Amino acid sequence: MIESILDRMTLEEQVSLLSGADFWTTVAIDRLGVPKVKVTDGPNGARGAGSLVGGVEAACYPVGIALGATWNPELVRRMGASLAGQAKSKGASILLAPTINIHRSGLNGRNFECYSEDPHLTGELAVAYVQGVQSEGIAATVKHFAGNESEVERQTMSSDIDERTLREIYLAPFEQTVRRGKAMAFMSAYNKLNGVYSSENDWLLTQVLREEWGFDGVVMSDWFGSRTTAETINAGLDLEMPGPTRDRGDKLVAAVRDGKVKPENIREAARRMLVLLERVGAFETPPDLNERFLDREEDRTLIRQLGSEGAVLLKNNGVLPLEMTSLARIAVLGPNAATARIMGGGSAQIATSYAISPLQGIQAALQNPNSMQHAVGCRHNRLVELLQADIHVEFFAGHGREGTPLHIEKAVKGEFFWFDLPEKRLDPTNFSVRLSTTFTPDETGEHVFGMTNAGLARLYIDDTLLIDGNDGWTKGENYFGTANDEIRASVTLEAGRRYNIRVDYDTPEANGEGIYITAVRFGVERPLGIDAIDEAVELARNSDVALVFVGRDGEWDTEGLDLPDLRLPGKQDELIRRIAAVNSKTVVVLQTGGPIEMPWLDDVAAVVQFWYPGQELGNAVADVLFGDVEPRGRLPQTFPRSLWDNSAMAGHPETYPGKDGHVRYEEGVFVGYRHHDARGVEPLFPFGYGLGYTEFNWSQPTVSSREFGSEGISVTVDIQNVGSRSGSEVVQLYIRSPKGKVERPDKELRAFAKMFIPAGQTGTTTLAIKPRDLCYYDVDLSAFHAEPGTYEILLAANASDIRSVTQITLSHAYILPPEA
């Protein structure tokens, strides 16, 4: 069928398939019965079409690093299948996920979206995710291919990575999603790889991905991440996104006529688009693109389960699990207690129907909710708190809000990110908006207003200009580097008085380059003084336990912006210290999208890391704190003692964040624990680390053979739960290679198994290793290469806790070409 459609297509029609129709859909060709399909972000929920900050409600699942911490491919597979249902409810056939770049610096704004610093763990989880999504007939889109480990100058930066490092670390998980996951789509990265844009990189998209790994799906660009006509198509980029086209359409037809692009290349790319449509069943049942909210009990249950599955208990002097009966007074403190921080920022955001805060979760779990008291202590928001109010929104053609509005609507919060405008007569690059609302303060005193805008905006209070985001506007970091930095202004307001707030907005100049965004965000807050900390400390002093909810939120952990450091923002370190000084049962519940420094670690009784686990956050927190479920996660990323212990910082700024348009991955394969091991840098918490509520005894393993043959070997170990509670243990198998031609990491994760073992019982697991697991990538041979010698199999509870070492012999070399 596909061949016959291709035969009947004109060149123009073939070309039309190779760009989006609009932001989220592909082009239909009605004449030939080629349907239109929709794509949707993203990794932790299906947002549907429309704005990044709104849209039809959707279920919110854990972010990537929280999945990384589960070490549980089976559960991730179930999440993939569940997400596919969510995608269908949004009329989408293609999910723009998973994000599987590697945790390198700890500072990547999208660290939260990625799984791990280790390619094997990332690969296993990514394969499970892809298989889960695709088992329900939805295509997964593996992204961002490749070398997108930071958001700094992300549209232009070149990630300079040597081939061995690419093959062993950064490309390895992508390879697995092709070979084992059978991923139907890939997304190229914004950045350049070794000087060539990923979207124009023939080596990456054609030689490696298609010819060596056998990928037969579609490669699409990241949004506005393709910028040429012949170069992208010739390199193997099938689909330019979003639409309507910028560099294809007539330009691509002309390039074919001028001989710059072969007609066969167009036909091939068009064929791959049609095959994709066929694979997602779009020819059989042309998709209904309408969107609805799918709220399934089983999704809620799965999300709640994933919460504890990825929660990592980092320290516990015995205070956890909490004994509900012995706690007359519980203090629930900190900026993440009453506000549910359930996801990261950027394109992974979705509109949720509900989000359970830790405070709500604990309240629901407590038999006597009166025993609980709350104080916020301090704030950590990067931007002034968003204004939540009824807002009257008027759209006008052209700038200056003249004449009658073409469209009027209501909004409920002061953040607008316009993609598809509500009225056809509005030109997306030349419109203006008036936003009107009121604000009635609870308290008299100083209030801080803040606004950031992509485009030009002014904020008025009672018709007096308070913030000028128009005159002298300069580009800052918000909204993927298209908005100014937030401008703040203080004003004294009276409690109970109603103030009129107005924001006048005009679209920015369109210069035809890169990403074009129209957005504005404004908010207001009361500055919190030192008395806020005092109040929290007083509650802690008079309570039996102090639960301190700290971390960051999706304004810090966000696409478009890297983190400034690995510290808890605001006064949170001070808050924790002061609370710990008055309450010996201080439990810190962390929520960040990556590692942080913990200067207060010795002072507190327990620490548990919850990441951003989705809409069931508070319930999952209560499950773990009260011991209904064990915290079952293990760190997917090393927590260094300090940022400067991180491999990427060694050659700062060349190695991070980059200099003169290049970021050099100079540490090579020595990233994460490979760096800590090889350079003797002791981490704060090692890769793979996590405690539970029970204890295990590990037996000595048995191996199927001491002599390594082409069928590989298997390693079997018994683990006994010697505690009185059920629990889970993650057996981690690392390989230590003999000294050879090149320096290799001290050990590398090659297999793992998560086991659930009831109290008093013994579980058995068998892990398999194949020849490729012994190999490094030999650039001289252009092949994966295992040199003969004695290899050690380490079974470990984490990268610093090795429980057994077994030697095996390899008597002759393996040389495996990359296409093998």
Give the residues lining the site for ligand BGC (CB under 6 A): 41-42, 96, 143, 222-223, 347, 559
Phi-psi region of 541 (alpha: psi -120 to 50; beta: other; left: phi over 0): alpha
Spatial contact of 25 and 38, defined as CB atoms under 8 Å apart:
yes
Give the span between the Cα atoms of 650 and 663, in whole angstroms: 12
Q: Which of 41, 118, 160, 222 is catalytic?
A: 222
**364: Cβ contacts below 8 Å, ≥ 6 apart:** 356, 618, 619, 622
d(CA 54, CA 57): 8
Taking the C-alpha atoms of residue 324 and residue 267, their distance in angstroms, rounded to an integer, is: 66
Beta carbon of residue 559, minimum distance to ligand BGC (angstroms, whole number)? 6
CB closer to ligand BGC out of 94 and 767: 94
**Helix and strand counts by DSSP (H, E) for the chain:** 18, 36
Q: How far apart are CA 47 and CA 419, in angstroms?
A: 13
Least separation, in Å, of the C-beta of 140 and ligand BGC? 12
On the CB side of 634, how many CA atoms lie within 13 Å of its CA? 24
Shortest distance, position 521 Cβ to ligand BGC, whole Å: 17
Report the residue number, 186 or 449, with the smaller CB distance to ligand BGC: 186
Token pair in block for residue 207: 């030689």
Query: Shortest Cβ distance from residue 143 to ligand BGC (Å)?
Result: 5
When the beta carbons of 222 and 787 are compared against ligand BGC, the nearer one is: 222
Nearer residue to ligand BGC within complex by CB, 88 or 143: 143
Phi, psi (deg, nearest 5) at residue 707: -105, 125
Instruction: State in angstroms the smallest separation of the CB of 515 from ligand BGC.
Output: 8
Closer residue to ligand BGC (CB): 48 or 640 = 48
As beta bridge partners, residue 433 has 395, 505
Q: How far is the CB of 92 from ligand BGC (least distance, A)?
A: 12
Task: Identify whether the C-beta of residue 518 lies closer than 8 Å to the C-beta of residue 508.
Answer: yes
Specify the amino acid at residue 604: V
Backbone angles phi, psi at 199, to 5 degrees: -75, -10
Q: What's the closest the beta carbon of residue 98 comes to ligand BGC, in angstroms?
A: 10
Judged by beta carbon, residue 42 or residue 692, the one nearer ligand BGC is 42
What residues contact residue 644 under an 8 Å CB cut-off, 6+ apart? Answer: none
State the minimum distance, in angstroms, from the CB of residue 190 to ligand BGC: 7
**Cβ-based nearer residue to ligand BGC, 130 or 794:** 130
Cis check for the bond before 119: say yes or no (omega within 30 of 0).
Answer: no
Residue (of 348, 521, 350, 377) closest to 449 by Cα position: 521
Distance CA 142, CA 173 (A): 10
Q: Tokens 């056939």 appear where?
A: 93
Q: How far is the CB of 109 from ligand BGC (least distance, A)?
A: 11
What is d(CA 777, CA 816) in angstroms, rounded to the nearest whole number? Answer: 9
For 696, phi then psi, to 5°, come to: -130, 150
Torsions phi, psi for 65 (to 5 deg): -70, -30
Rounded CA-CA distance 511/615 in Å is 39
As measured in angstroms, the least distance from the Cβ of 479 to ligand BGC is 11
Residues 6+ apart with CB under 8 A from 707: 808, 809, 811
41 vs 573 by CB, closer to ligand BGC: 41
Least Å distance between CB 284 and ligand BGC? 26
Report residue 521 as tokens: 């965000």
3-state percent helix, strand, coil for the chain, nearest multiple of 5: 25, 30, 50
Closest CA to 329 of 356, 358, 377, 362: 362
Cα-Cα-Cα-Cα dihedral sign, residues 670, 673, 679, 683: positive
Q: Closest CB to ligand BGC belongs to which residue?
A: 347
Contact in structure between 542 and 329 (CB atoms under 8 Å): yes
Nearer to ligand BGC, 419 or 685 (CB): 419
Strand-pairing partners, residue 778, are 783
CB 215 within 8 A of CB 178: yes
222 catalytic? Reply is: yes
- Min dist CB 474 to ligand BGC, Å, is 22
At its nearest, how many Å lie between ligand BGC and the CB of residue 347?
3
Angstrom distances, CA of residue 323 to CA of 303, 313, 329, 373, 544? 25, 17, 12, 17, 11
Q: Going by C-beta distance under 8 Å and a sequence separation of 6 or more, which residues neighbour residue 133?
A: 80, 81, 83, 84, 87, 95, 97, 139, 140
Q: How far is CA 239 from CA 19, 95, 133, 259, 812, in A?
A: 5, 15, 21, 20, 45
Distances in Å between the Cα of 14 and the Cα atoms of 6, 18, 260, 720, 782 are 8, 7, 16, 61, 36
Token pair 């951003």 is at which residue?
Answer: 612
| Residues designated catalytic | 222
